[in-house]
Structure 1
Amino acid sequence: MNGLDGVKKVVVIGLGMTGLSVVSHLLRQPDEFDIKVIDTRPTPPGQDKLPPHVALCSGGWNMDWLLTADLIVASPGIALATPALVAAAEAGIEIVGDIELFARAVNKPVVAITGSNGKSTVTSLVGEMAREAGINVGVGGNIGFAALDMLAQDHDLYVLELSSFQLETTSSLQLKAAVYLNLSEDHMDRYVGLEDYSQAKMRIFEHALLAVYNRDDLATCPKAISGEMISFGFDAAEYGLVTVEGEEYLAVAQQPVMATGDIALVGRHNVANSLAALALADAVGIDHLAVCRALRRYNGLAHRCQLVASSHDVRWVNDSKATNLASTLAALKGLNLAGKLHLLMGGDGKGADFSELQPVLADLNVQLYCYGRDGRHFASLVENPLSVETMEQAMIIAAKAAQAGDMILLSPACASFDQFPNFMARGDAFVALATELQNTVSGAN
Structure 2
Amino acid sequence: MSVIASDRRTLVVGLGKTGLSCVRFLQAQGRSVAVADSRAEPPGLDTLRAEYPDVPVLLGPFQPERFTAYSELVVSPGIAISEPAIAAAAENGARIRGDIDLFAEVAEAPIVAITGSNGKTTVTTLVGEMARAAGRRVEVGGNIGTPALDLLGRGADLYVLELSSFQLETTTDLGALAATILNISDDHMDRYPNKMAYYQAKQRIYQGARHAIVNLDDALSTPMARDTLRFICYGFHRVNPETFSTRDDDEGTWITWGLDNLLLTRELGLIGHHNVSNVMAALALGKAAGLPMPVMLDVARRFRGLPHRCEFIRTLDGVEYINDSKGTNVGATVSAIESLAPASGDGKVVLIAGGEGKGADFAPLEAPLSLHGRAAVLIGRDAPLLASAIGHAVPVVNASSLDDALAQARRLAQPGDRVLLSPACASFDMFRDYEDRGDQFRQRVEALS
Taking the aligned partners of 2:34 and 2:14, their CA distance within structure 1 comes to 11
Residue in 1 that maps onto 2:221: 220
Q: Name 2:27's counterpart in structure 1.
A: 27
CA shift, 1:386, in A, is: 10
Q: CA deviation at 1:174?
A: 1.8
2:306 is paired with a residue of what secondary structure?
A: coil
Does residue 1:46 correspond to 2:44, yes or no?
Answer: yes
Question: Displacement, 1:344?
Answer: 3.7
CA offset at residue 87 of structure 1?
2.9
User: Does the 8 A contact of 2:118 with 2:331 survive in 1?
Assistant: no
Q: 1:116 to 1:40 in 2, by over 3 A?
A: same
- 1:341/1:303 Cα in 2 relative to 1: closer, same or farther (>3 Å)? farther
Amino acid at match of 1:360: P
Where structure 2 has 5 or more consecutive residues not aligned to the other structure, the ranges are none
2:180 is aligned with 1:179:
yes
Partner of 1:431: 442
| DSSP 3-state at the match of 2:70 | coil
- The answer to whether the Cα contact below 8 Å between 1:347 and 1:415 also exists between their aligned partners in 2 is no
Confirm or deny that 1:296 pairs with 2:301.
yes
- The verdict on how the C-alpha distance between 1:420 and 1:339 changes in structure 2, with shifts beyond 3 A counting, is farther
Is 1:257–2:262 an aligned residue pair?
Answer: yes
Mark the CA change 1:392 to 1:219 in structure 2 (over 3 Å): closer, same or farther.
closer
* SS of residue in 2 equivalent to 1:36: strand
Deviation at 1:267, TM superposition (A): 2.2
1:333 alignment partner, SS class: helix
- How far apart, CA to CA, are the structure 1 residues paired with 2:235 and 2:327? 24
Distance 2:368 2:284 in 1: 30
Shift of 1:249: 1.4
Q: Which amino acid aligns with 1:39?
A: D
Q: 1:149 to 1:207 in 2, by over 3 A?
A: same
SS in 1 for 2:144: coil
Amino acid in structure 1 at the alignment position of 2:368: V
Equivalent in 339, 343, 351 of residue 337 of structure 1: 343
Distance in 1 between residues matched to 2:294 and 2:69, nearest whole Å: 54
Matches within 5 A, 1:259-278: 259-278=264-283
Query: How many residues are matched?
Result: 427
User: CA RMSD for the aligned pairs?
Assistant: 3.7
Offset, 1:433: 5.5
Q: Matched residues in 1 for 2:418 and 2:297: separation?
A: 23
Q: Which amino acid aligns with 2:308?
A: H
Following superposition, the deviation at residue 103 of structure 1 comes to 0.6
Partner residue, 2:150: 149
Q: Deviations over 1:50-84 (max 9, x none)?
A: 12111101113465664443432111233333333
2-side partners of 1:303 and 1:136: how far apart? 27
Deviation at 1:108, TM superposition (A): 0.7
Paired residues of 2:214 and 2:233 also in contact (CA < 8 A): yes
**Distance 1:391-1:288 versus aligned 2 partners, 3 A rule:** farther
Whether the 8 Å CA contact 1:239–1:250 is kept in 2: the answer is yes
Q: How does 1:13-412 map to 2 (within 5 A)?
A: 13-29=13-29, 32-50=30-48, 51-61=52-62, 66-225=67-226, 226-234=228-236, 235-237=238-240, 238-309=243-314, 316-322=321-327, 326-335=331-340, 337-339=343-345, 341=347, 343-346=349-352, 357=365, 359-364=367-372, 368=375, 370=377, 381=393, 390=404, 393=407, 402=415, 409-411=420-422
Q: Secondary structure at the match of 1:186?
A: coil
Structure 1 residue 246: deviation in Å?
4.4
Task: Find the aligned partners of 2:81 and 2:397 in 1 and give their Cα distance.
Answer: 49
- Secondary structure at the aligned position of 2:179 is classed as strand
Asked if the contact 1:348–1:417 (Cα under 8 Å) also holds between the matched residues in 2, the reply is no
SS at match of 2:176: coil
- 1:261–1:310 distance in 2 versus 1, CA, 3 Å: farther
- Distance in 2, Cα, partners of 1:261 & 1:19: 43
- Spell out, residue by residue over 1:197-218, the C-alpha distance to the aligned partner (whole angstroms, 9 max, x if none): 2122111111111011222221
Structure 2 CA distance for aligned equivalents of residues 187 and 414 of structure 1: 10
1:80-123 deviations in Å (ceiling 9; x for gaps): 33333333223333221110110111111110011222222211
> 1:152 and 1:268, CA in 2 relative to 1: closer, same or farther beyond 3 A?
same
TM-score normalized by the length of structure 1: 0.81
Counterpart CA distance in 2 for 1:58 and 1:416 is: 26
d(CA) in 1 for partners of 2:355, 2:71? 48
The CA deviation at 1:381 is 4.4
Q: Is the 8 A contact 1:347 1:416 kept in 2?
A: no
1:326 CA displacement: 4.3
Q: Is the 8 A contact 2:313 2:445 kept in 1?
A: yes
Aligned to 1:10: 10
CA apart distance, 1:160 = 0.8
Seq. identity, %? 41
Aligned to 1:443: none
Partners of 1:140 and 1:379 lie apart in 2 by 40
Could you tell me how far apart the structure 2 residues matched to 1:353 and 1:208 are?
Answer: 33
- Structure-1 separation of matches of 2:406 and 2:201: 43
CA distance in 2 between partners of 1:142 and 1:417 (Å): 18
Give per-residue Cα distances to partners, 1:210-262, cap 9 Å, x unaligned: 01122222122123232212222112231211223341111111322221122
- 3-state secondary structure, aligned to 1:296: helix
Greater shift after overlay, 218-227 or 18-27?
218-227
Q: Deviation string for 1:171-219 (max 9, x for gaps)? A: 2322110001112233334434322321221111111110112222212
- Alpha-carbon spacing, 1:429–1:162, altered in 2? closer, same or farther (3 Å): closer
